Homo-oligomer: A and B are copies of this chain.
Amino acid sequence: MLFNWDLVLTKYELKFSTRTRYGIRSMIEIGMDTSGKGVFQKQIAEKQEISVKYLDHIIHALKTSGLISNVKGRKSGYVLTRPPDEITMLDIHNSFESGICVIDCLSPNITCDRNERCAARGFWGHVNNKIINYFKSVTLQDMIDEQSCLDDAVNL
Protein backbone atom coordinates (compact mmCIF):
# COMPACT_ATOMS: atom_id res chain seq x y z
CA MET A 1 0.00 0.00 0.00
CA LEU A 2 1.30 3.41 -0.89
CA PHE A 3 -0.68 5.37 1.60
CA ASN A 4 -1.80 4.26 5.02
CA TRP A 5 -4.83 6.25 6.07
CA ASP A 6 -4.86 4.75 9.53
CA LEU A 7 -1.66 6.35 10.70
CA VAL A 8 -0.16 8.92 8.42
CA LEU A 9 3.35 9.67 9.53
CA THR A 10 3.42 13.31 8.59
CA LYS A 11 6.43 14.04 6.56
CA TYR A 12 5.63 16.78 4.16
CA GLU A 13 2.39 18.18 5.48
CA LEU A 14 2.88 21.63 6.92
CA LYS A 15 6.64 21.72 6.61
CA PHE A 16 8.73 24.79 6.13
CA SER A 17 11.17 24.24 3.30
CA THR A 18 14.83 23.50 3.77
CA ARG A 19 15.71 26.52 1.66
CA THR A 20 13.93 28.81 4.11
CA ARG A 21 15.59 27.12 7.06
CA TYR A 22 19.03 27.39 5.52
CA GLY A 23 18.24 30.97 4.54
CA ILE A 24 17.62 31.97 8.13
CA ARG A 25 20.78 30.28 9.31
CA SER A 26 22.79 31.96 6.57
CA MET A 27 21.39 35.34 7.53
CA ILE A 28 22.35 34.80 11.16
CA GLU A 29 25.85 33.91 10.03
CA ILE A 30 26.16 37.03 7.89
CA GLY A 31 24.59 39.25 10.52
CA MET A 32 26.98 38.07 13.22
CA ASP A 33 30.13 38.80 11.23
CA THR A 34 32.38 41.37 12.91
CA SER A 35 35.31 41.27 10.52
CA GLY A 36 33.99 44.08 8.38
CA LYS A 37 35.01 42.12 5.30
CA GLY A 38 31.74 40.32 4.87
CA VAL A 39 31.19 36.58 4.83
CA PHE A 40 32.01 34.17 2.02
CA GLN A 41 29.73 31.41 0.83
CA LYS A 42 32.40 28.93 1.80
CA GLN A 43 32.47 30.16 5.38
CA ILE A 44 28.71 29.86 5.73
CA ALA A 45 28.77 26.41 4.20
CA GLU A 46 31.39 25.20 6.64
CA LYS A 47 29.95 26.69 9.78
CA GLN A 48 26.35 25.83 9.00
CA GLU A 49 27.18 22.43 7.49
CA ILE A 50 25.48 23.03 4.16
CA SER A 51 26.98 22.05 0.79
CA VAL A 52 28.50 25.01 -1.06
CA LYS A 53 26.60 24.08 -4.17
CA TYR A 54 23.23 24.05 -2.46
CA LEU A 55 24.08 27.28 -0.70
CA ASP A 56 24.49 28.78 -4.17
CA HIS A 57 20.72 28.87 -4.51
CA ILE A 58 20.12 30.15 -1.01
CA ILE A 59 22.55 33.05 -1.42
CA HIS A 60 21.18 33.85 -4.84
CA ALA A 61 17.64 34.16 -3.48
CA LEU A 62 18.74 36.33 -0.55
CA LYS A 63 20.62 38.58 -2.94
CA THR A 64 17.72 38.83 -5.39
CA SER A 65 15.37 39.87 -2.62
CA GLY A 66 17.82 42.59 -1.61
CA LEU A 67 18.62 41.40 1.91
CA ILE A 68 22.34 40.92 1.29
CA SER A 69 25.00 42.18 -1.12
CA ASN A 70 28.71 41.93 -1.73
CA VAL A 71 30.75 44.54 0.14
CA LYS A 72 32.42 45.54 -3.10
CA GLY A 73 32.22 43.46 -6.22
CA ARG A 74 32.30 39.75 -6.65
CA LYS A 75 35.20 38.47 -4.70
CA SER A 76 34.42 40.23 -1.46
CA GLY A 77 32.12 38.82 1.20
CA TYR A 78 28.42 39.22 1.82
CA VAL A 79 26.94 41.79 4.18
CA LEU A 80 23.45 42.83 5.20
CA THR A 81 21.96 45.72 3.25
CA ARG A 82 20.18 47.08 6.31
CA PRO A 83 20.42 46.79 10.10
CA PRO A 84 19.39 43.39 11.48
CA ASP A 85 16.62 44.89 13.58
CA GLU A 86 14.98 46.01 10.35
CA ILE A 87 14.95 42.52 8.87
CA THR A 88 12.14 40.20 9.96
CA MET A 89 11.80 36.46 9.65
CA LEU A 90 9.01 37.14 7.17
CA ASP A 91 11.43 39.10 4.95
CA ILE A 92 13.77 36.12 4.90
CA HIS A 93 10.99 33.60 4.36
CA ASN A 94 9.60 35.61 1.47
CA SER A 95 12.97 35.55 -0.25
CA PHE A 96 12.26 31.89 -0.93
CA GLU A 97 8.51 31.60 -1.08
CA SER A 98 5.81 33.86 -2.44
CA GLY A 99 4.29 34.27 1.00
CA ILE A 100 2.56 32.27 3.68
CA CYS A 101 -0.74 30.71 2.70
CA VAL A 102 -1.71 27.57 4.59
CA ILE A 103 -4.57 26.71 2.27
CA ASP A 104 -5.18 27.79 -1.30
CA CYS A 105 -8.63 29.31 -0.85
CA LEU A 106 -7.12 32.09 1.30
CA SER A 107 -5.33 33.42 -1.76
CA PRO A 108 -7.02 36.30 -3.59
CA ASN A 109 -6.30 34.48 -6.85
CA ILE A 110 -8.67 31.70 -5.92
CA THR A 111 -12.39 32.17 -6.29
CA CYS A 112 -14.57 29.74 -4.40
CA ASP A 113 -18.29 30.34 -4.17
CA ARG A 114 -18.25 28.84 -0.71
CA ASN A 115 -16.09 31.64 0.73
CA GLU A 116 -18.91 33.73 2.16
CA ARG A 117 -20.58 30.82 3.89
CA CYS A 118 -17.64 28.67 4.99
CA ALA A 119 -16.76 28.70 8.69
CA ALA A 120 -13.71 26.57 8.04
CA ARG A 121 -12.21 29.27 5.86
CA GLY A 122 -12.40 31.73 8.74
CA PHE A 123 -10.48 29.34 10.93
CA TRP A 124 -7.74 28.89 8.36
CA GLY A 125 -7.49 32.63 7.95
CA HIS A 126 -6.80 33.00 11.65
CA VAL A 127 -4.16 30.28 11.55
CA ASN A 128 -2.51 32.02 8.63
CA ASN A 129 -2.51 35.42 10.30
CA LYS A 130 -1.03 34.05 13.48
CA ILE A 131 1.88 32.57 11.61
CA ILE A 132 2.47 35.68 9.53
CA ASN A 133 2.32 37.97 12.55
CA TYR A 134 4.83 35.90 14.44
CA PHE A 135 7.20 35.91 11.47
CA LYS A 136 6.85 39.68 11.33
CA SER A 137 7.47 40.11 15.04
CA VAL A 138 10.84 38.34 15.16
CA THR A 139 13.81 40.24 13.73
CA LEU A 140 17.21 39.04 12.67
CA GLN A 141 18.59 41.02 15.61
CA ASP A 142 16.51 38.84 17.96
CA MET A 143 18.01 35.76 16.36
CA ILE A 144 21.54 37.15 16.61
CA ASP A 145 21.05 37.96 20.30
CA GLU A 146 19.72 34.47 20.91
CA GLN A 147 22.60 32.88 19.04
CA SER A 148 25.13 34.96 21.00
CA CYS A 149 23.64 33.68 24.23
CA LEU A 150 23.88 30.09 23.04
CA ASP A 151 27.47 30.58 21.90
CA ASP A 152 28.41 32.08 25.27
CA ALA A 153 26.81 29.17 27.10
CA VAL A 154 28.96 26.73 25.13
CA ASN A 155 32.16 28.65 25.81
CA LEU A 156 31.66 28.77 29.56
Contact = CB atoms under 8 A, between A and B. Distances in A.
A17 B135 CA distance: 22
Nearest to A3: B57
Q: How large is the interface on A (under 10, 10 to 19, 20 to 34, 35 or more residues)?
A: 35 or more
Interface string A48-69: 0100000001001100100000
Interface string A29-47: 0000000000000000000
A120 interface: yes
A120 B15 contact: no
A97 B8 contact: yes
Nearest to A17: B13
A83 to B, nearest CB: 18
Contacts of A131: 14, 127, 130-131
Total copies of the chain: 2
A7 interface: yes
Given A13-B97, A14-B102, A16-B13, A120 B57 contact: no
A71 interface: no
Interface in A134-156: 134-135, 138, 143-144, 146-147, 150-151, 153-154
A6 B126 CA distance: 29
Nearest to A103: B16
A102 B15 contact: yes
